[in-house]
Chain A
């Protein structure tokens, strides 16, 4: 597609429920990144996929967070047993490679009530 597409744009969930966030990167971009941004804060790295290599999961804050990337394209970030501190905007970015500019999606605003 022309840009990075994320869905849903907004998600309100009850504490303890599981959520899935989707990212559809730009066609042909081999690198895909997940970040999150809490209210008024900077961007916190979560996970990085590069081609068929093992993902860099070093930024995932707990084992409740996981992500996969199927067929080198679409990625899904899953948060299990959501907590209120998980409330944030989750941003996905893709790039042609590691030393290329990132293109960000519009994000998913997650609110845990």
Chain B
């Protein structure tokens, strides 16, 4: 099956800092999503982005499908951004998302 690698595994920031999270995947995909899991366990869909670039407020994401990676940018981080960020992909021959191990983000005040 497809492999999904996220980096870094852990990231600690001061409030106001910017960060970039990376997701590499091992095969062609037709579905890529980014999720934020807050400290209470709720998974929130941030982006559906199999290719191209999208922006939503302080967050943006870029997927370069031909090079098999996606980036999630967080600008002017806030303490409420803390949690785990998951990248998930569906390979072209698949039927569901395969999740990476996540990046644990801590934003300190």
A interface list, Cβ under 8 A from B? 33, 35, 42-43, 45, 48, 50, 56, 59, 89, 91, 93, 98-104, 106-107
> B37 → chain A, closest Cβ, in Å?
9
Do B101 and A99 touch (CB < 8 A)? no
Interface residues on B, range: 20 to 34
Interface residues of B in 46-72 (CB under 8 A from A): 47-48, 50
Do A98 and B31 touch (CB < 8 A)? yes
Q: Known: A42-B101, A106-B42. Contact between A56 and B95, CB under 8 A?
A: yes
- Kindly state whether residue B102 has any CB partner on chain A within 8 Å: yes
Which of A42, A56, A98, A100 is within 8 Å of B99, CB to CB?
A42
| A106, B43: Cα distance in complex, Å | 8
Chain A CB within 10 Å, residue with most, of B41, B43, B48, B97: B43
Do B95 and A48 touch (CB < 8 A)? yes
Do B30 and A99 touch (CB < 8 A)? yes
| A103, B102: Cα distance in complex, Å | 18
Please name 21 pairs of A and B residues whose Cβ atoms are closer than 8 Å in the assembled complex, sorted by A. A33-B96, A42-B100, A42-B101, A43-B99, A45-B96, A45-B98, A48-B95, A50-B95, A56-B96, A91-B43, A100-B48, A101-B33, A101-B45, A101-B47, A102-B33, A102-B35, A102-B45, A103-B45, A106-B41, A106-B42, A107-B41
